Structure 1
């Protein structure tokens, strides 16, 4: 009895199904092998990447440890600065720089046993006596030192001083702005450092020469704030008292319209008299304990403004023959001669 046709189809289908199943098994088995092989490769790659990451992490940890050690040493050095020479800001201005007596820097605390101390000693000499080329090299060296010791305000105020000295010699106002930036950074690090306030005041005072009247008065107000702060921290610096005398003298000299602008800017506008200026100049003279022609000039000018012309002329005549251990620039000598010529009549 012949098999139904559908049986042949069923058998054919069954055989095809078996073949397909076998084929699928082989294919699946091959896929699994490939998958296992791919996973093995992935694991190997991950192991390599983890090894690299582990090495990088170890390197970063080592660098962090090294930086922490270096920071600890730096903090220790800075601690030595503040404890070993607490009276640094009270040094005399006797050795004032001949190019700018009133702005001579009082010697500051130094690091006792480091390479930085040697660098600062050389830099200080350059700042007081160097040429424009020397000062330019000094600025670059200080900038590099600031990168190495970013939390050292001693470097920053010296950088400000270097910019001021360059401004004196080149009259490039960009040095004033850079110097103010350096002092501002130092102020954030150590606000109780007299030289930071001192050099910031000096730079602000220099900026008033290139400012419009409103900004000039604002800078004058800031100048007074920082001179007061510097004197509070270092009351024995004659240069600071001279600067305060100059401020009082300039305020007393303000014209009426300048006083109007000051009154509009401040609820309590700055006010000073020639008598007050004279007191500050006398204090500077007492602390200096040596002839200081620029300070003597302003004493004479205050005397003349107060109507004491003979006494003022006597001081001016004494200046002609007086030595000046601090040095004096040509402008002072010229003003002395002009005042003598004007009031001797």
Structure 2
């Protein structure tokens, strides 16, 4: 908020009053104007200070209430589910990280449990669904078909984590196509539906890394349509779930890519955005472009071929770190990869802009 600027009083000598009287009148008017300006500015500064203080208090209270409400809701649902399992004679899983980091095949322990906990028919469906989910990323018609099938499976198996997180995943894929078509209403509806599915999956099993990853992705996309308070709170929630996903599955490249995106965005926060975060939380988020680059490099190490988006973000980190020549190398690598997902088309557009600025010969 800027203080109102009071226009200076203009000197106007009356006709026939004489030169001396005109000068005296001008000086008197100027002093009066300066006095009123000083008083007005002082009042404006005082009002601004009061307003900032009030706004800071309001943001702090609202942010705390928002985050607390989310956590209370999650805790309440998990407690209810734990009570149900205990009543049925099922012991609740201990949250011991070592249990999930023992040497195994590429299929995680929780995924094996997931497939064995349902019928053989369901297990076969989940295997087929994984193939279809991959194909649906670039096929809108198939994406819609898979969405219908997984919605039906959710009705049949409302407490099966594998069905639930996959339903959340297909909601995200379908929302991407609506985003391409600029249908914001349907995009947001699907994102919110996906958030519900992945939250239910976490209620069933907090140690499901896929549910943590997709909950973070869907929540992060959803809060982009919200106000500043929810976006800041959503950023904290995003980071919390991505960290947990990495803790549970340390060799999953997408989680490191998502962590890098969060770190990159936080490193580029403006002064005003940092102040807003400080007003909402005692410890505002902090990160650096070096940390973001480390995460993107880790993702590239785990998935070294054909990842257009990750190559772009590696290049963007190098640009921020003033390593233009290295950045151009990564931009060129990304440019020569084919588009295979809706996101790749957005990436290509950004690559074209950056290459036209830093390496125009590549586009000729």
Shift of 1:144: 2.8
Corresponding residue to 1:200 among 192, 201, 215:
215
> Is the counterpart of residue 161 in structure 1 residue 169 in structure 2?
yes
Larger radius of gyration: 1
CA distance in 2, matches of 1:198, 1:180: 11
Distance (whole Å) between structure 2 residues aligned to residue 242 and residue 281 of structure 1: 5
Q: Quote the Cα distance in structure 1 between the aligned partners of 2:336 and 2:174.
A: 31
Equivalences, count: 251
- 1:256 and 2:268 matched: no
Match of 1:136 among 116, 133, 144: 144
**Which residue in the other structure is 1:110 paired with?**
115
After TM superposition, the score normalised by the length of structure 1 is: 0.66
Q: Does 1:305 align with 2:320?
A: yes
Structure 2 partner of 1:228 = 243
TM-score (norm 2): 0.62
Alpha-carbon distance in 2 for matches of 1:118, 1:310: 49
Deviation, 1:309, is 1.2
In structure 1, the residue matched to 2:7 is: none
Query: Alpha carbons of 1:281 and 1:168: their partners in 2 closer, same or farther (altered >3 Å)?
Result: same
Q: Is the 8 A contact 1:89 1:194 kept in 2?
A: no
2:125 to 116, 119, 126: 119
Q: How does 1:173-188 map to 2 (within 5 A)?
A: 173-188=188-203
| Aligned counterpart, 1:33 | none
Change in 2 beyond 3 A, CA 1:274/1:214? same
Q: How big is the shift at 1:128? A: 2.3
State how far apart, in whole Å, the 2-side matches of 1:110 and 1:270 are.
Answer: 38
Distance 2:332 2:109 in 1: 32
> What are the ranges of 5 or more consecutive residues in structure 1 without an aligned counterpart?
1-70, 73-81, 92-105
C-alpha displacement of 1:160:
0.7
| Larger RCO (alpha carbons 8 Å, 6+ apart) | 1
Cα distance in 2, alignment partners of residues 148 and 331 from structure 1: 37
Tell me if the contact between 2:159 and 2:200 (Cα under 8 Å) persists in the aligned partners: no
Which of 158, 161, 170 is equivalent to 1:150? 158
CA shift in 2, pair 1:320/1:266, >3 Å: same
Q: Distance in 1 between matches of 2:328 and 2:113?
A: 38
How far did residue 327 of structure 1 move?
9.5
Structure 2 residue aligned with 1:337: 352
CA change 1:290–1:139 in 2 (3 A) is closer
CA apart distance, 1:303: 0.7
Backbone CA RMSD of aligned residues = 3.0
Provide the C-alpha distance between the structure 2 equivalents of 1:181 and 1:268, rounded to a whole number of angstroms.
Answer: 28
1:139-192 deviation digits (Å, cap 9, x = unpaired): 333233223223211111111112111111124111111111111111111000
Question: Does the 8 A contact of 2:114 with 2:161 survive in 1?
Answer: no
**Equivalence map 1:277-296=2 (5 Å):** 277-296=292-311
Counterpart of 1:151 in 2: which secondary structure?
coil
**Cα shift at 1:323:** 6.5
Superposition deviation, residue 247 in structure 1: 0.4
> Which ranges in structure 2 are unaligned for 5 or more consecutive residues?
1-87, 90-99, 180-185
Cα distance, 1:241 vs. partner?
A: 0.4
Q: CA distance change for structure 1 residues 280 and 334 in 2, over 3 Å: closer, same or farther?
A: same
For 2:327 and 2:113, the matched residues in 1 are separated by 36
Show the 5 A alignment for 1:207-246.
207-246=222-261
* CA distance in structure 1 between the partners assigned to 2:115 and 2:263 by the alignment: 33
Instruction: Output the CA distance in 1 between the equivalents of 2:202 and 2:230.
Output: 21
Query: Measured at CA, do residues 167 and 323 of structure 1 come closer, stay the same or move farther in structure 2, by a change above 3 Å?
Result: closer
Deviation track 1:2-51 (CA, whole Å, cap 9, x = no partner) reads xxxxxxxxxxxxxxxxxxxxxxxxxxxxxxxxxxxxxxxxxxxxxxxxxx
